[in-house]
Structure formats: C-alpha cells, structure tokens
Amino acid sequence: LYTIYTLKHRYWVADDLLHWDQEINKCYTDMLALRNAVEQARKRNDYVTVDTRQARLEIAETRLSLARDKISKLHKTAKYNKVWE
C-alpha cells in the first residue's frame, strides 16, 4: 500500500502509513520487553519494579491498539477509494 501511494504521488498518505507502521513495531517491541521485565521482576519478588513496568506495559498496549486502529482505517479507506486501480 505504501508503494502504491508513493507511485500515485500521494506522499502524505504514504508517510502517514509508514509512521503508524513504525509506531506499531515500536509499541510491540516495547510490550514484549516490558512483559519479560515484569516476569523477571515477579520471579525476584521485586514488586516496585513490577508496579512501574506494569503501568508502562499498559500504556504500550494502549498505544499499540490505537496505532492498529489507525492503520486499519487507512487500509479501509484505501479499499473504499479503490487505490489499487
């Protein structure tokens, strides 16, 4: 989809698509790392770290769902506008 928008000279939409894709990757990576950190902290009974990482994990999950919704809207808009033709 990024390539199609670039070929059709709709660079602003392509950049938006790229931005949300990068945001999804960043939030997903953060989420995996934070889950691992929470697991390790629970094993060590370090509840201060669990509390701080748990809050950051919830933020990362929320940001991930928002980014997924945004990129889903971009795909639906492209499908509705028949960008591929």
Confidence class for position 58, pLDDT limits 50, 70, 90:
very high
Q: How confident is the model at residue 71 (pLDDT cuts 50, 70, 90)?
A: very high
Model's pTM, two decimal places?
0.80
Separation of alpha carbons 14 and 22, rounded Å: 12
What share of the chain in percent tops pLDDT 90?
Answer: 66
Instruction: For the chain, give the mean pLDDT.
Output: 89
Q: What does the pLDDT read at residue 33?
A: 94
- CA-CA-CA-CA torsion sign (30, 35, 40, 42): positive
Nearest-angstrom CA–CA distance, 18 and 52: 30
